[in-house]
């Protein structure tokens, strides 16, 4: 079991991030927050994703202050599928999900996850980003429609889940698998070491 003198707080509603932390042996609590995921267009792509993870961190920090929580390490993250320099977020409807998957068909894309760790005791925040290249096989339109009908794509960046039925579209990937799921655990451990987290 991984240990820390600080409480570990995961500010995320994602069951996938919770599962990844569980499987990595972390002891933590979940603190769901609601934050606008609209990207700031005046920033480059990586800066946009990083800013969103940091925005989540700032919102969670302020809410925890109101609750008078102390001595904690706060983890936030944001994952984006990127194609040709464009971020593909979560589809707003089935038509958008179909459009995203059609664009990804037979091509490679990059999944980027930004993570932020905030230490309340030192008021220090560290943010890092991880990338994984994913290669899709060509997908027939009916396959896309059948997949959308399962409902799985609707709350996933890029309209697919590599850990779910979406894996059938993936030919290969280069980089961390858990980064595509939503949380690069090795990068997180590296960041936590900067806060003297006992790993």
Distance of CA 2 to the CA centre of its chain: 21
User: How far is it, in rounded angstroms, from Cα 22 to Cα 45?
Assistant: 30
CA gap 167, 164 in Å, rounded: 6
Rounded CA separation 26/19 (Å): 10
In sequence order, the 6+-apart residues with CB closer than 8 A to the CB of 44 are none
End-to-end C-alpha distance for the chain, whole angstroms: 9
129 neighbors 112 (Cβ within 8 angstroms): yes
Residue 71 annotated in active site: no
* Other CB atoms within 10 A of residue 56 CB: 24
Name the residue among 197, 144, 195, 184 with its Cα closest to residue 24. Answer: 184
How are beta strands 7-10 and 170-174 bridged, if at all? unpaired
Main-chain dihedrals φ then ψ at residue 132, nearest 5 degrees: -140, 130
What angle do the packed helices 94-104 and 141-149 form, to 10 degrees? Answer: 140
Active-site pick, 22, 71, 78, 155: 78
Catalytically annotated residues? 78
């Amino acid at each position: 079991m991984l240990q820390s003198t600080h409480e570990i707080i995961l500010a995320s509603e994602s069951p996938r991030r919770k599962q990844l932390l569980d499987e990595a042996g972390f002891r933590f609590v979940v603190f769901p927050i609601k934050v606008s995921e609209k990207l700031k267009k005046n920033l480059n792509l990586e800066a946009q994703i990083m800013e969103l993870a940091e925005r989540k961190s700032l919102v969670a920090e302020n809410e925890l202050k109101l609750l008078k929580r102390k001595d904690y390490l706060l983890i936030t993250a944001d994952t984006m599928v990127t194609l040709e320099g464009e971020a593909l977020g979560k589809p707003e409807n089935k038509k958008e999900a179909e459009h995203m998957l059609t664009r990804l068909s037979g091509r490679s894309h990059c999944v980027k996850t930004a993570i932020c760790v905030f230490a309340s005791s030192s008021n220090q925040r560290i943010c890092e980003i991880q990338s994984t290249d994913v290669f899709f096989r060509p997908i027939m339109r009916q396959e896309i429609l059948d997949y959308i009908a399962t409902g799985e794509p609707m709350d996933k960046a890029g309209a697919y889940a590599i850990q779910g039925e979406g894996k059938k579209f993936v030919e290969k990937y280069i980089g961390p698998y858990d980064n595509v799921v939503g949380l690069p655990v090795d990068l997180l451990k590296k960041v936590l070491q900067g806060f003297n987290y006992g790993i």
